[in-house]
Amino acid sequence: MLNILIFGPPGSGKGTQSLNIIKKYNLIHFSTGNIFREEIKKQSKVGILAKKYIDKGCLVPDKIVVDIISKNINSKNETKGFVFDGFPRTLRQAEFFDDFMNKRNTPVSLVISIEVEEQELYNRILHRAKDSDRSDDNLKIIKNRIKVYKKQTEPLIKYFKAQDKYWPINGMADIDTVFNRITNVIDNYIENK
Ligand code: AMP
C-alpha cells in the first residue's frame, strides 16, 4: 500500500495537490477538513460540535478526530492506498495514527511537506475565499489558523524527521511545478521500495 501524508500550513496547496496525487496514483483522498465540512452540512452531532472549533480557526479536539479516522479508514479496505490531507495535526494524533496504521500492517510510506512563505499563505487563502463557501477563509480566522499551525502542528516535523519519512517540497511555484516536485519524490520511493 502507498500511504502518503500531505503536510503543510493552511493555504499551502495540500487539497489541490492531494487531488492531483490520487488521480495519478489511483489512491483515495482522505481529508479530515472535508469530512468535517460534510458533517456540518448534514448537521450531524459531530458536525455541530466541530463547527464551533472550525469557525474560530481552532483545532477540533483529538478524540473526535481520531474517532472519525478509525471509522472512515476501516470502511475502505479495498484500495491501493490513501493520501491523508490535513491529518495528523497534533502529536497525539500522529502517535495514534502510527499505532493504528502499523496494527493494520499498512504503515505511512511518506510524509510530503509543502513549504510556502507566510505572506503567500495569506494571499492564497484570501484568493480562494472569493469562490469557496468556507466560513473559516477570512482574515481574522486565517491568522488564528496559521498561529495554531505553528504552535500545534509544526512541531510534528521533528517527529516525522525522526522516522526518516519526511520530504520537504518547495511550494513557492505554480501548481504544475509543485506537483512535478511531489511526483519526483513519490516515483523515487516506488522505484526504490
Ligand atoms: P482543512 O480543510 O484541512 O484546512 O481543515 C479545516 C478545519 O477543520 C481546521 O482549521 C480545523 O478546525 C479542522 N480540522 C481539520 N483537520 C483536523 C485535524 N486533523 N485535527 C483537528 N482539527 C482539524
Q: Walk me through the domains of the chain, giving residue ranges and CATH numbers.
A: 2-179 (3.40.50.300)
**Where are any strands of DSSP class E within the chain?**
2-7, 28-31, 81-85, 110-115, 166-170
pLDDT in tens, 25-44: 999 999 999 999 999 999 99
Q: Whose CA is nearest to atom 5 of ligand 1?
A: 33
Note if the bond before 88 is cis, omega within 30 degrees: yes
CA of 177 to the centre of ligand 1 (A): 26
pLDDT at 170 over 90: yes
Residue 15 has pLDDT above 80, yes or no: yes
| Segment (H or E) for 20 | helix 14-25
At residue 183 the predicted structure's pLDDT band, cuts being 50, 70 and 90, is very high
Q: Is the pLDDT of residue 92 over 90?
A: yes
Nearest-angstrom CA–CA distance, 100 and 88: 12
Q: Give the Cα separation of 62 and 102 in Å (integer).
A: 19
The ligand 1 atom nearest the CA atom of 32 = 16
pTM more than 0.85: yes
Cβ contact 144:137 at 8 Å = no
